[in-house]
């Protein structure tokens, strides 16, 4: 039996035990889009094992938490939730499974065993495909399972998947990260960088297109180094449609009929080669919004962060893209209060924000992560200063977004209509190429269509539009 066949057999074994029992599962995903994509795979397997989804914790026979550990608040959230589910375990024996990035941290699993010993399964980021096997063991033997691998586990292709949306889909193109930015826990919990083979990715996108999906987001911690590790280490790359890099992957996906938009997160500024810039320019389906994580605008801090670019190199890259890609826009991630950040360093960050004019800035207060070099640095910034700087950055960003939003008024934007507006059932909602939310009046037949919309009003977090005649 091949590996995937074994996995499918495990699913069938559990499905048989559960048959006719009308069981339900609840899942909470706490992390980034990669984690959400993992959850979609978990849901795919769980639903084939005869559980149906519930949004109500109390109704569930199986509760799954898919955790994140990139910042401290993620931990508080998990422990809070565990406190909440204890009573269900006691009352009706609900199976409690905890997975994802945080489970790769030894001190967290120790804490769970000490303070929340009622869980049934913990599984890490390398053992997702073993979830059906773990569940089978719990159902048949009731012995608590820790299924965590320190080494990079295999990524098994062909597992079932249950996607959250029917217009937009995420496709993971690589796993892990080799960059070791000094603040970041991800390389320790997600393992080394490994790319999926071109054939697997292109076949997945083609089957999504066949099922009617319009927008694809390619996911990875460093997408523009796709297949680089493989190339550098002479690992055989299965030949498929000439794809051997991120740029050639974009070009190949751009040719797939039915797909109308391609996005990708996150690229790393240090790996933004000209072939990628040219592919973004040439491929009509690739959105011209580039998410380009800055982290800090200070060359000194960037060096300590191990980001491998300077303030000037970042700005030069932005200028190059502005010159080469018509209508390019940018979004970014910024960390405030990294150890040793001076007032001057922080002002460099503000300066880059002013110069680039981002569409969207995801702002984070530096959070110490056990095991990272940043955590051991002595010059930590006091909380109060971090918060004050965060507020100043937020103010600048919001004032810029306000100005940018006004510039949209009167323009025609291609908007992919995603569904009914959350706040008003009579309105539709969609997104521009630059990922701005647009709310408009229109009939349900427009859902899933990419149409020109005239922007007529602006608000902080969305624009109002009308169908352009």
Comparison of 189 and 439: residue with beta carbon closer to ligand F3S: 189
Per-residue string for binding with ligand SAH, 196-225, x by CB under 6 A? -------------------------xx---
Q: How far is the CB of 271 from ligand SF4 (least distance, A)?
A: 10
How many residues in the shown chain lie near ligand SAH by CB under 6 A?
17
Per CB under 6 A, 183 contacts ligand SAH: yes
Question: CA–CA separation, 388 vs 1, rounded Å?
Answer: 59
Q: How far is the CB of 186 from ligand SF4 (least distance, A)?
A: 4
Per CB under 6 A, 132 contacts ligand SAH: no
State which of positions 10-39 bind ligand F3S (CB under 6 A).
31-32, 34-35
Per CB under 6 A, 304 contacts ligand F3S: no
Question: CA–CA separation, 151 vs 148, rounded Å?
Answer: 9
Neighbours of 254 (CB within 10 A): 15
State which of positions 197-236 bind ligand SF4 (CB under 6 A).
221-222
Is the sign of the CA dihedral 76, 82, 85, 87 positive or negative? Answer: negative
Per CB under 6 A, 68 contacts ligand SAH: no
Contacted by 31, from ligand SAH, ligand SF4, ligand F3S, none: CB < 5 to 8 Å by type: ligand F3S
Q: How far is the CB of 53 from ligand SAH (least distance, A)?
A: 27
Q: Which residue of the chain is nearest ligand F3S when measured via CB? A: 31
Single residue of 3, 52, 111, 180 touching ligand SF4 by CB under 6 A: 180
Q: How far is the CB of 193 from ligand SF4 (least distance, A)?
A: 9
Contacted by 180, from ligand SF4, ligand SAH, ligand F3S, none: CB < 5 to 8 Å by type: ligand SF4
Single residue of 103, 186, 290, 356 touching ligand SAH by CB under 6 A: 186
Q: How far is the CB of 326 from ligand SAH (least distance, A)?
A: 25
Comparison of 35 and 296: residue with beta carbon closer to ligand F3S: 35
Q: How far is the CB of 222 from ligand SAH (least distance, A)?
A: 6
Per CB under 6 A, 373 contacts ligand SF4: no
Per CB under 6 A, 190 contacts ligand F3S: yes
State which of positions 70-99 bind ligand F3S (CB under 6 A).
70
Q: How far is the CB of 97 from ligand SAH (least distance, A)?
A: 24
Question: CA–CA separation, 136 vs 139, rounded Å?
Answer: 5
Q: Which stretch binds ligand SAH (CB under 6 A): 52-60, 178-186, 239-247, 392-400?
A: 178-186
Contacted by 101, from ligand F3S, ligand SAH, ligand SF4, none: CB < 5 to 8 Å by type: ligand F3S
List Cβ neighbours of 306 (8 Å cut-off, separation of 6 or more). Answer: 179, 180, 181, 182, 373
**Positions in the binding site for ligand SF4 (CB under 6 A):** 177, 179-181, 184, 186-187, 221-222, 268
**Positions in the binding site for ligand SAH (CB under 6 A):** 70-71, 183-184, 186, 221-222, 266, 268, 293, 295, 333, 335, 364, 366-367, 369
């Amino acid at each position: 039996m091949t590996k995937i066949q074994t996995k499918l057999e495990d699913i069938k074994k559990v499905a048989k035990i559960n048959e006719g029992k009308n069981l339900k599962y609840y899942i909470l995903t706490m992390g980034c889009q990669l984690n959400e994509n993992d959850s979609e795979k978990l849901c795919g397997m769980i639903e084939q094992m005869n559980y149906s989804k519930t949004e109500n914790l109390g109704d569930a026979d199986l509760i799954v938490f898919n955790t994140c550990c990139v910042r401290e608040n993620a931990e508080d959230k998990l422990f809070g939730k565990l406190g909440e589910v204890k009573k269900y375990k006691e009352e009706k024996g609900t199976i409690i499974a905890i997975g994802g990035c945080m489970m790769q941290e030894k001190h967290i699993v120790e804490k769970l065993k000490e303070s929340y010993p009622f869980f049934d399964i913990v599984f890490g980021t390398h053992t997702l495909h073993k979830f059906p096997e773990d569940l089978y063991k719990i159902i048949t033997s009731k012995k608590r399972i820790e299924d965590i691998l320190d080494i990079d586990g295999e990524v098994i292709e062909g597992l079932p998947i249950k996607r959250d949306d029917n217009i937009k889909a995420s496709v993971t193109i690589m796993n892990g990260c080799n960059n070791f930015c000094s603040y970041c826990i991800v390389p320790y919990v997600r393992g080394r960088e490994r790319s999926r083979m071109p054939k697997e990715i292109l076949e997945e996108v083609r089957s999504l297109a066949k099922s009617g999906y319009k927008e694809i987001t390619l996911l990875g911690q460093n997408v523009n180094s796709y297949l680089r590790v493989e190339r550098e280490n002479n690992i055989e790359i299965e030949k498929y449609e000439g794809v051997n890099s991120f740029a050639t992957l974009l070009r190949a996906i751009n040719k797939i009929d039915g797909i109308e938009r391609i996005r990708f997160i996150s690229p790393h500024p240090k790996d933004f080669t000209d072939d990628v810039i040219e592919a973004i320019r040439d491929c009509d389906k690739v959105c011209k919004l580039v998410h380009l994580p800055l982290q800090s605008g200070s060359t000194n801090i960037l060096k300590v962060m191990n980001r491998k670019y300077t303030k000037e190199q970042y700005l030069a890259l932005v200028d190059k893209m502005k010159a080469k890609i018509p209508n390019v826009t940018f979004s970014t991630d910024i960390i405030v209060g990294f150890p040793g950040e001076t007032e001057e360093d922080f002002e460099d960050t503000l300066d880059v924000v002013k110069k680039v004019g981002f569409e969207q800035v995801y702002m984070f207060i530096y959070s110490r992560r056990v095991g990272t070099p940043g955590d051991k640095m002595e010059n930590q910034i006091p909380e109060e200063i971090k918060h004050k700087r965060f507020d100043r950055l937020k103010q600048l960003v919001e004032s810029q977004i306000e100005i940018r939003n006004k510039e949209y008024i009167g323009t025609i934007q291609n908007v992919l209509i995603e569904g009914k507006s959350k706040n008003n059932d009579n309105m539709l909602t969609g997104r521009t190429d630059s990922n701005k939310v647009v709310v408009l009046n229109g009939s349900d037949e427009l859902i899933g269509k990419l149409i020109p919309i005239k922007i007529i009003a602006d608000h902080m977090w969305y624009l109002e539009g009308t169908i352009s005649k």
